[in-house]
Copies of this chain bind each other. A is one copy, B any other.
Amino acid sequence: MLEVLRENFSHLFEEELMVEISKVGMHLKVNKGDTLMELGSSVTHIPLLIDGAIKIFRLDDDYREQILYFLERGDTCALTLNGCLGKAQSEIKAVAEMDSELILVPAQYMESFLKYHSWSRFVFESFNNRLVELLEVIDSLAFMKLDERLYNYLRDKVLINSNQLLEITHNTIAQEMNTSRVVISRVLKKLELEHRIKLHRNKIEVIEI
């Protein structure tokens, strides 16, 4: 695992910290679609993403969901850190957007690693990134109409997957954005008429400008 850490985190962490992490961390591979954390499950580990992408959702009491952001290589999830400190059950869900690889660090090391400058810097920047992304979600929900929100959602997916051709169904989009399939189909059709996307069965092609 130390090798994996060196390959992926040497620009972030000092050698000594990577050694420490490799002693207590757990190396994990997950498949596309796997759920990593369910509503209210206690937060016992801090994830470090080695490869792939994880999407994070907010859940409400009726199991509706709202996508928040993606974690990518080098990211961690501040909401987890949050859970570590606050001891609160985090009502979020994490699902692998693609086959991914991560290291899980037991939450109790969170604070003790703060003596490493690179770790505290990493944690700070992570909080920072998450705050910014949550603000973007708020912008989207508060100020934008569904067509723009949907287009942004698709653009994000394109970036994460490094592919203009998305393999996704209308139904899945509807769930992730907390609306209904009919509405998504309607708005997608509108975006297609505006030549911003092309629709295929099970696939959506995003036309970049």
Contact = CB atoms under 8 A, between A and B. Distances in A.
25 contacts: A58-B135, A58-B138, A58-B139, A64-B143, A66-B138, A66-B143, A68-B138, A78-B127, A78-B131, A79-B135, A85-B124, A85-B125, A86-B128, A86-B132, A114-B120, A120-B120, A127-B127, A127-B131, A130-B131, A131-B131, A131-B134, A134-B135, A138-B141, A141-B141, A143-B178
Interface of A: 58, 60, 64, 66, 68, 78-79, 82, 85-86, 88, 114, 120, 124-125, 127-128, 130-132, 134-135, 137-139, 141-143, 178
Number of copies of this kind of chain in the complex: 2
A131 B60 contact: no
Nearest to A179: B142
Contact of A132 (B88, B127, B132, B137): B88
A8 to B, nearest CB: 22
A88 B86 CA distance: 27
A58 B134 contact: no
Contacts of A135: 58, 79, 134
Given A79-B131, A120-B120, A131-B78, A139 B68 contact: no
Q: Which one of A60, A114, A128, A139 has the greatest number of beta carbons of chain B within 10 Å?
A: A128
Contacts of A125: 85
A138 B133 CA distance: 12
Contacts of A142: 58, 60, 64, 66, 141, 178
